[in-house]
């Protein structure tokens, strides 16, 4: 017997009467007579329908719809779809990388039960346009088209199968599938599991286009990769990739729903905002999202058409008939513990009302609030807040007529005045004189921004959304990244790094600042300082680039401040793995009593000979310089 797929030019011979593994399509079949050289039968036509597995179906509604569904997310404002945003957002909730409470739901509630309101849509629309570099960096297998612009589906499929065939990622919610047919576009869905049916490797997925069934990818007998039993694109695909969702979020950053506005395209503009199309394809974006910078508390919205409207926090605001000078001023809401602490206020100002811009900025050592656009003769209040270790000096008028700034007489940190024209006001601060040898010398000198280190998962215990220990060590000038954009939180701290941190702490304590210059090797000035100031003794260490043990860290950190700064506030009778024979016993005991360390379990196990990560070191050194954060009232 021979068969030929419609469109092919050659026939394929088989023995027997059964053929398996055929792709969907129309085939021609013919059969020779026994011991004959010519064909007995005329061509017969057979149509192969999509093959549906008889493999027992898993509970896709528990893992599929509840986890990834959003099948009720019917975004009538944006028919182009939000596949990427829905995919990573729903995985983010499932993994605990996003807090579902911001949607009005809770962590015991299936996502499919959420109403399709703008609060639900907000994070989806926020992450939808944030594909690009974050998605590429999160790609762990395949993705030839995304990486090089040239499709290589064969290598893509091999990489993807090899990545998941161990079943380590089955039903975990941690992977996204990106795939495309170059002539039709791309799509992003959620990986479910890897399976083999009759020896055929399959990548099972939840595709939001088919919310009531699973789909899977497979290689047909011609080496083409297809999706079945339902398919987003017609025919074989040209590219497939796997992306790690946790890695994506660590790069893409967090979401603040109080700083996004939605509107029809070309109906409004929002000053200082970044605009993103709300459709999957940029050229199709008929509806847009405006992202407002985090530091802004008020924005100016300029209507471009009569009756222009926009949505903010599930509320709709609109303009009536406008003229060339009509503007709207939106005072943004703020969030505290995921609840609105301040309601939004929207004011429309017509051309009959003269408006002026009040720009406020902060000098080094503090923050400001209260600027924006205001109608003439409006009473405005601006506020300057000094950082710890700084004092408010005054408000300076930096408007064009005062190029160097003119100090405003009698203006306090909270300054109320009547607007009569555009103005630019700067709050200036002065550093408090350091107290020689004082814990009060430790002040925030830098600003940590969530996501500034691409390898820091802000949802981990050390992250900005949890313990903030890396943020604290950075802001107080105790530790910095191991590169411009990485911190290496799970990497071991070295002897050189531990000495560097301790030397910084000692210098700030004694003088109020760091006093170090570059050296060769880089850590030599810190080692010299540590020896000169009794933090370590000459000869204590010979290899400064090796990983430090927890006991060595205790020895170095405990000598960064005078003994008096480690007042006992805990009782230590005994520790499971530390005794008088343990090297650096006294230093370890001192940190336990002072509440700087508390062990790895309730019994106070210390693991003195184990290495210590940079994140753990950040937590400990922060407690060294911030006594109010130390543990107290414990007995070991």
Whether residue 68 contacts residue 111, with contact meaning beta carbons closer than 8 Å, is answered with yes
Is the four-CA dihedral 609, 610, 613, 615 of positive or negative sign? negative
How far apart CA 277 and CA 245 sit, in angstroms, is 22
pLDDT band at 161 (very low <50, low <70, confident <90, very high): very high
| Stronger pLDDT, 9 or 59, i.e. the higher one | 9
pTM: 0.42
Task: Please tell me the least confidently modeled range out of 70-79, 278-287, 347-356, 483-492.
Answer: 70-79
DSSP secondary structure string for all residues of 232-299: SSSS--SEEEEEEHHHHHHHH----GGGEEEEETTSEEETT-EEEESSSSGGG-SEEEEEPPTT-SEE
Residue 565, classified by CB atoms within 10 Å of its CB into exposed (0-12), middle (13-18) or buried (19+), is middle
| Stronger pLDDT, 9 or 565, i.e. the higher one | 565
Whether residue 305 contacts residue 210, with contact meaning beta carbons closer than 8 Å, is answered with no
Distances (CA, A) of 489 to 9, 107, 458, 584: 59, 28, 11, 25
In 3D space, the residue among 124, 134, 88 whose CA is nearest the CA of residue 245 turns out to be: 88
pLDDT band at 298 (very low <50, low <70, confident <90, very high): confident
In this predicted structure, the answer to whether residue 545 has a pLDDT above a threshold of 70 is yes
| Domains and their CATH numbers in the chain | 2-48 (no CATH), 53-255 (no CATH), 256-348 (no CATH), 354-432 (2.60.40), 439-629 (no CATH)
Task: Please tell me the least confidently modeled range out of 192-196, 206-210, 272-276, 282-286.
Answer: 282-286
Is the four-CA dihedral 186, 192, 194, 200 of positive or negative sign? negative
Q: What integer best gives the mean pLDDT of the chain?
A: 81
- For residue 262 the two structure tokens come to 């939605």
pLDDT band at 350 (very low <50, low <70, confident <90, very high): confident
Task: Please tell me the least confidently modeled range out of 125-129, 204-208, 350-354.
Answer: 350-354
Average pLDDT score over residue span 153-170: 94
In this predicted structure, the answer to whether residue 410 has a pLDDT above a threshold of 80 is yes
φ/ψ (deg, to 5) at 29: -125, 140
How far apart CA 288 and CA 261 sit, in angstroms, is 8
Beta bridge partners of 423: 358
How far apart CA 171 and CA 259 sit, in angstroms, is 34
How far apart CA 44 and CA 28 sit, in angstroms, is 6
Whether residue 211 contacts residue 110, with contact meaning beta carbons closer than 8 Å, is answered with no
In this predicted structure, the answer to whether residue 84 has a pLDDT above a threshold of 50 is yes
Task: Please tell me the least confidently modeled range out of 128-137, 376-385, 419-428.
Answer: 128-137
Secondary structure (3-state) at 318: strand
What is the structure's pLDDT at 24?
67
pLDDT band at 568 (very low <50, low <70, confident <90, very high): very high
pLDDT band at 444 (very low <50, low <70, confident <90, very high): confident
What is the structure's pLDDT at 341?
55
Average pLDDT score over residue span 597-619: 90
What is the structure's pLDDT at 342?
64
Average pLDDT score over residue span 466-476: 90
Beta bridge partners of 430: 391
What is the structure's pLDDT at 554?
94
Cis peptide upstream of residue 220 (ω within 30 degrees of 0): no
What is the structure's pLDDT at 129?
66
- For residue 131 the two structure tokens come to 């594909």
| Stronger pLDDT, 285 or 67, i.e. the higher one | 285
Average pLDDT score over residue span 421-443: 83
Strands 355-362 and 423-431: parallel
How far apart CA 261 and CA 412 sit, in angstroms, is 34
pLDDT band at 106 (very low <50, low <70, confident <90, very high): low
In this predicted structure, the answer to whether residue 62 has a pLDDT above a threshold of 50 is no
What is the structure's pLDDT at 277?
61
């Amino acid at each position: 017997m021979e068969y030929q797929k419609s469109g092919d030019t050659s026939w394929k011979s088989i023995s027997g009467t059964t053929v398996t593994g055929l792709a969907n399509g129309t085939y021609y079949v013919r059969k020779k007579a026994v011991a004959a050289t010519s064909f007995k039968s005329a061509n017969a036509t057979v149509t192969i329908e999509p093959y549906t597995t008889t493999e027992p179906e898993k509970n896709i509604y528990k893992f599929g719809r509840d986890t990834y569904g959003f099948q009720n997310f019917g975004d009538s404002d944006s028919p182009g779809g939000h596949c990427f945003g829905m995919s990573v957002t729903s995985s983010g909730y499932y993994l605990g990388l996003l807090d579902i409470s911001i949607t009005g739901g809770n962590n015991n509630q299936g996502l499919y039960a959420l109403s399709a309101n703008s609060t639900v849509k907000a994070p989806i629309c926020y992450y939808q346009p944030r594909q690009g570099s974050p998605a590429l960096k999160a790609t762990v297998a395949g993705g030839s088209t995304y990486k090089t612009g040239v499709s290589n589906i064969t290598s893509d499929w091999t990489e993807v199968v090899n990545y998941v065939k161990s079943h380590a990622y089955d039903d975990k919610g941690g992977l996204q599938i990106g795939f495309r047919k170059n002539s039709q576009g791309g799509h992003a869905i959620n990986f479910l599991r890897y399976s083999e049916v009759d020896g055929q490797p399959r990548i099972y997925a939840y595709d939001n286009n088919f919310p009531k069934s699973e789909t899977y990818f497979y290689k047909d007998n011609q080496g083409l990769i297809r999706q079945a039993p339902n398919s987003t694109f017609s025919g074989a695909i040209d590219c497939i990739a796997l992306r790690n969702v946790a890695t994506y979020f660590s790069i893409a950053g967090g979401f603040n729903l109080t700083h996004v506005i939605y509107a029809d395209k070309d109906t409004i503009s929002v000053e200082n905002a970044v605009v993103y199309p709300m459709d999957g394809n940029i050229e199709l974006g008929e509806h847009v999202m405006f992202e407002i910078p985090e530091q802004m508390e008020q924005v100016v919205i300029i209507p471009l058409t009569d009756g222009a409207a926009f949505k903010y926090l599930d509320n709709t605001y609109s303009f009536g008939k406008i003229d060339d000078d009509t503007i709207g001023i939106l005072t943004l809401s703020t969030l505290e513990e995921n609840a609105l602490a301040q309601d939004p206020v929207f004011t429309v100002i017509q051309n009959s009302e003269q408006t002026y811009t009040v720009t406020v900025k902060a000098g080094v050592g503090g923050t400001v609030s209260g600027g924006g656009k205001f109608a003439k003769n409006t009473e405005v209040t601006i506020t300057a807040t000094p950082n710890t270790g700084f004092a408010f000096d005054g408000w300076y008028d930096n408007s064009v007529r005062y190029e160097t700034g003119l100090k405003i007489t009698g203006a306090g940190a909270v300054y109320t005045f009547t607007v009569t024209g555009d103005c630019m006001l700067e709050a200036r601060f002065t550093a408090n004189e350091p107290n020689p040898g004082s814990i009060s010398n430790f002040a925030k000198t830098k600003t940590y921004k969530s996501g500034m280190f691409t390898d820091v998962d802000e949802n981990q215990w050390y992250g900005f959304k949890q313990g903030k220990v890396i943020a604290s060590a950075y802001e107080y000038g105790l530790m910095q990244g191991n590169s411009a954009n990485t911190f290496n939180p799970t990497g071991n701290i070295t002897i050189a790094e531990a000495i560097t941190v301790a030397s910084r702490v000692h210098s700030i304590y004694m003088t109020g600042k760091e006093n170090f210059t570059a050296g060769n090797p880089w850590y030599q000035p810190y080692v010299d300082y540590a020896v000169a100031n009794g933090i370590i003794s000459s000869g204590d260490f010979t290899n400064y680039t090796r990983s430090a043990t927890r006991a060595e860290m205790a020895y170095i950190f405990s000598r960064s401040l005078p003994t008096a700064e480690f007042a006992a506030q805990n009782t230590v009778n005994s520790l499971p793995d530390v005794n008088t024979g343990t090297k650096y016993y006294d230093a370890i005991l001192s940190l336990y009593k002072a509440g700087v360390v508390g062990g790895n379990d309730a019994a106070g196990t210390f693991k003195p000979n184990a290495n210590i990560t940079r994140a753990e070191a950040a937590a400990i050194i922060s407690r060294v310089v911030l006594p109010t954060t130390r543990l107290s009232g414990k007995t070991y």
